[in-house]
Structure 1
Amino acid sequence: MERTSVFTFAKKYSLIGLILIIFLAGCGSIDEPVNADTEGFFNHFFVYNFSLLIKGLASFFNGSYGLSIIVITLMIRLVVMPFMLKQTRSSLEMQDKMKELKPGMDAIKKKYKDHKDRESQMNMQQEMMKLYQKHNVNPLASLAGCLPMLIQMPILIAFYWAIRRTPEIAAHQFLWFDLGQTDIVLTLIAVAIYFIQFKVTQIGLEPQQKKQMAILGLVSPVMIGIISLNAPAALPLYWAVGGLFIIGQTLISKKIYLAHKNSTAETT
């Protein structure tokens, strides 16, 4: 049984979300404004309400749709933050447990290195499971730790489409760019932020894990760049703000976990 990384699952779910967005972009009229008469459960109850929220907050901020998008992005991140903090802590705990198991796992793999027959492989799996049980480790627990990624995905996708299908956004400017036009500078900023986010998630991982995740870590920034170059600047603005929030959240989570770990070690 191969070593499981929670961050690998998290990145995979992020990638699935991006692929889903692209898939949805090819299904239906992405330029059709969303309104109260728009058909479809998801469009009517999720996308349309987000569109109303965007316009309502923009009115509150004297017509600034840029500020409206930023505030809603932060609101969404704050709502899912407790789940994400729990997921980060679970993943860090799993990393520590897997580090403790590594010598035993390496010994088992070495034992069966030259035995590729089915019976030997089954014996190796059984010894791995006994090792997990001995240390009270459930290798499938990492899947549950990624549940927050799945919970927030419909919300983020709905907000994504609300931005694309609210025509009022395109008529406004924010900072140096037009919200309705593609902006290369903002796209590069969003790509850089998500690449930094990937690097932050790698803090504390072993070199082998970092190497395994190297290509996967480039996928999200590249996909965001491709989508942003074919979308209004409001989208990379949303991604950039969300990415910055996640970077701060991840750093804080890891710092809190490390402090708790050190405090526990001192008391024992």
Structure 2
Amino acid sequence: MDKNQATGLILFAAVLLGYSIFFAKTPEPIDVQEGKEATEKVEAAREADVAEDISTFQLPDSLLDLQALQKFGAFAALTKGEANTYTIENELLAVEISSQGGEIKRVRLKEFTTWNKQPLYLLDENSSSISYTLPTRQGDFDLNEFFFQAKSSTEERDGVTLQVLTFTAQADQGSITRTYRLAPNSYALEKGIAVDGFRQQLMDGPIAINWEDRLKKLEADIEESRRKTNANWFFASDSYDYFGVNSNKSETLSEPVRWASFSQRFFTSAILADGEPFLNGRIAQDTPSDTLSVKNMSLALALPLAEGQNELRYYFGPNNYKILKTIAPSFEKNVDMGYFFVSWVNKYIIVNLFQFLERYVSNYGVIIILIVLIIKLFLFPLTYKSYMGMAKMRVIKPEIDELKEKYGDDPTKMQTEQMKLFSQLGVSPISGCLPLLLQMPFLFAMFFFFPNSIELRGESFLWAHDLSTYDSIINLPFTIPFYGSHVSLFTLLMTVSQIAYTKFNNQLSTQTGPLKNLGYIMPIGFMFILNSFPAALSFYYFVSNMVTFGQQALIKLFVDDAKVRQKVEENKKKNVNKKKSKFQQRLEDAMRAAEEQKQANKKKK
């Protein structure tokens, strides 16, 4: 460095020193609190960065492949892929299936909505899960852990085009295929499963199917829904069984099963074996304490593989008796048609009559009225016979009273003389009751038909917004025990009409004492029972009472007591020399023997 360069550097340094002394700002005091907050922000940011680094940290592909190989062996290649959703659908049903597992995720019924007008999903990812587990030498592998390639196509069968969705998981040593088929206008989803290859890896044994389902609330009245929801199953030996609607229990299915279902009030989800039946299984149901689900169901089944494959079906659809009857043997039992002594009325008469009227009448209130009129017309001969029986007993009441005065102290003699009188006059004491008993199956059949009729779901009539549930005209601010917190007008009309009919009927009857007043108590009891039942049922009983009342009033116009008395007198002359029938003679002998035994017992005492 020469003299000139050294002089320049010294001057430059002097200028900088002078500038820093005269022009630099005085440093501001540091706020301790601000410093603390700044430190906390730095630490929080550092922690967030670390958490983000951990969450985004991924093992190297080579290490992931090694882990998959250790766990799944020859199936390791099936654990890589993307989860995409595919839909197979027709006019009635839309089923969403994930490529991860090739399994059903959501099922929507297109023609129905929930009680609050939302899309109706029988299954979804939040409430239900279905898994198929494959037995291998390295353990049981859930197919939902594997990824499948999807392919959509169509298939012709008997002149019908089926939608087909095929899912294939391919590895070097074999493949797994799950195929879904859906026919037009069908609620039945066919499913085929096939395992090809993997001979060294597979164990001899069935595929384990596990279905967990928290049944979604589809109707407004959850209590009524729970009463009508239960698990059903049908064995390959043609025997049907089910859980009671209020039971919380599980049962081991120790013999082959043809189908099992979760049946709600109006809809059913089911799995059915089309090929080899399920070998065995376990089924359970319980009612939760909350209202998040109607009931919780679980089903485990063992699906055998014949030459590596088997066929089955799902049913996701309405509880329509006619439709269910076409699905599988005894599958219609998912609809409760009543006990054996009334179910025949619903199965063979009411269902067919109802569907016939649906073709020509769109208003279901009118359909109910027409059903009442048709049934009453069909049963009119029994109604007429019942009226005539009561009329005959009424006109011969003086003769009966005379016998009571004469033989009142001797019950056996009294009964004998009454039977003789009835025989002479051509009167049967049960002629008024028997026709009524023959009509009872029709009355009780409706008690099962209307609450389970999906056709009435969401259908309005007059003030009833939905005939499948109660019609509430007043919502009470309190709950009456056994009655509820609302007032059903159709139920009130039914009660009033029944009391009026009872009063009219008592005028025709010779019945006296407490039994005569029983007819007034029963309508009050039914008012409490039916208040929370579907409006269609109460409306049916109301119309039925009014038509019966009208029939009897009409009969009374043309058949008075004078004509009935005349007919009785004719029978009396005709039967004056009539011999006792064998039945009458046996009955008298039995009564006489009973009386003699009674007298003998008194003497012993």
Same fold by TM-score, threshold 0.5 exceeded?
A: yes
Whether 1:95 aligns to 2:394 is yes
**Quick check: 51-60 or 179-188, which moved more?**
51-60
1:71-94 Cα distance to aligned partner (Å, 9 max, x none): 011111110011110111012102
CA distance in 2, matches of 1:259, 1:245: 22
Q: Which residues of structure 2 form unaligned runs of 5+?
A: 1-227, 229-242, 246-262, 267-318, 326-330, 472-487, 571-605
Match of 1:166 in 2: 453
Change (3 A) 1:126 1:59: same
Q: Given the alignment of the two structures, is residue 232 of structure 1 paired with residue 232 of structure 2, yes or no?
A: no
SS across alignment from 1:152:
helix
Aligned to 2:525: 223
* Corresponding residue SS for 2:457: helix
| 1:53 and 2:361 correspond | no
Give matches, 1:196-211, under 5 Å. 196-205=500-509, 209-211=511-513
Which entry has the higher C-alpha Rg, 1 or 2?
2
Supply the distance in 1 between the matched residues of 2:507 and 2:549 (Cα, whole angstroms): 12
Q: State percent identity of aligned pairs.
A: 22
Q: Bigger shift: 232-241 or 98-107? A: 98-107
Instruction: Give the superposition deviation at 1:144.
Output: 4.3
Question: Which deviates more, 89-98 or 194-203?
Answer: 89-98
Per-residue CA shift, 1:40-81, capped at 9, x if unaligned? 8958754245234324423411x2111111101111111001
- Structure 2 counterpart of 1:252: 554
Normalized against structure 1, the TM-score is what? Answer: 0.71
Distance (Å, rounded) in 2 between the aligned partners of 1:263 and 1:138: 10
Shift of 1:250: 1.6
Q: Paired residue for 2:127?
A: none
Counterpart for residue 182 of structure 1: 470
Partners of 2:445 and 2:422 lie apart in 1 by 42
Conserved in 1, the CA contact under 8 Å of 2:497 and 2:546? yes
Is this contact kept in 2: 1:87–1:148, CA < 8 A? Answer: yes
1:70, 1:241 within 8 Å by CA — same for their partners in 2? Answer: yes
Tell me the residue number matched to 1:21. Answer: none
2:265 paired residue number: 31
C-alpha displacement of 1:260: 5.5
Partner SS for 1:243? helix
Helix, strand or coil at the partner of 1:254: helix
1:194-225: CA deviations, max 9, x gaps? 0000001012456xx45433431123312331
- Match of 2:559, SS? helix
Q: How does 1:50-199 map to 2 (within 5 A)?
A: 50-61=350-361, 63-109=362-408, 112=409, 123-130=410-417, 132-133=419-420, 136=423, 141-178=428-465, 179-183=467-471, 184-199=488-503
More helix by share: 1
Q: Relative to 1, partners in 2 of residues 1:233 and 1:198: Cα closer, same or farther, differing over 3 Å?
A: same
**Pair 98,259 (structure 1): closer, same or farther in 2 beyond 3 Å:** closer
**Are the equivalent residues in 2 in contact too, given 1:194–1:221 (CA < 8 A)?**
yes
Superposition RMSD on alpha carbons, in Å? Answer: 3.5
CA shift for structure 1 position 249: 1.4
Q: Distance in 2 between matches of 1:234 and 1:191?
A: 15
Q: C-alpha separation between the residues in 2 aligned to 1:141 and 1:135?
A: 6
1:137-167 deviation per Cα after TM superposition (whole angstroms, max 9, x unaligned): 6899222442222322223333332212111
C-alpha distance in 2, partners of 1:44/1:213?
A: 30
Higher strand share: 2
Offset, 1:263: 9.1
**Closer, same or farther: CA 83–135 of 1 in aligned 2, 3 Å:** closer
State how far apart, in whole Å, the 1-side matches of 2:517 and 2:499 are: 11
Given the superposition, is the C-alpha separation of residues 159 and 256 from structure 1 closer, same or farther in structure 2, using an over 3 Å criterion? Answer: same
* 8 A Cα contact 1:65 1:174, kept in partner: yes
Separation in structure 2 between the aligned mates of residue 130 and residue 156 of structure 1, nearest angstrom: 36
Distance 1:31 1:52, change over 3 A: farther
- Cα offset, 1:133, TM superposition: 2.1
3-state SS of paired residue (1:173): coil
1:152 partner letter? Q
One-letter code of the match for 1:150?
L
For the 8 Å contact 1:46–1:158, the answer to whether it is kept is yes
Question: Aligned residue for 1:8?
Answer: none
Does structure 2 retain, via aligned residues, the 8 Å contact 1:195–1:217?
yes
Q: 1:105 to 1:83 in 2, by over 3 A?
A: same
| CA distances 1:110-146 after superposition (whole Å, capped 9, x unpaired) | xx3xxxxxxxxxx442255236525746899222442
2:49: which partner in 1? none
